[in-house]
Amino acid sequence: MANHSATKKDVRQAAARRDRNRYYGKTTRNAIRDLKATGEQKAYTEQLPNVVSMIDKLAKRGVIHKNKAANLKSKLAKKANVSAA
């Protein structure tokens, strides 16, 4: 266990960041899942910018890697383009 006050504070901060990152990560995964489950094209294209924004924010915060964010966005955009064609 931490003995110094600064280390104790760091433990508290890390726990808060971990909880926050888990919340945002899970919320984004649920949004991606819901987007993929959307059957109609119009609803998909309306929801896509919001989900892409959520993914970008995760990458900006360092919750996920920037390449993973790019891969996720690419897959979602590809599905939108295939559905539109």
Q: Would the pLDDT of 85 be above 80?
A: no
- Cα–Cα distance, 67 to 74 (Å, whole number): 10
Q: Would the pLDDT of 62 be above 80?
A: yes
The predicted model scores a pTM of: 0.85
Q: Would the pLDDT of 2 be above 90?
A: no
What mean pLDDT comes out for the span 59-75? 97
Name the burial class of residue 28, with classes exposed (0-12), middle (13-18) and buried (19+) by CB atoms within 10 angstroms of its CB: buried
Residue 40: per-residue pLDDT: 87
- Could you tell me the residue ranges of all domains in the chain? 5-84
Which CATH homologous superfamily contains domain 5-84? Ribosomal protein S20 (1.20.58.110)
Over the stretch 25-43, which tens digit does the pLDDT of each residue have? 999 999 999 999 998 889 9
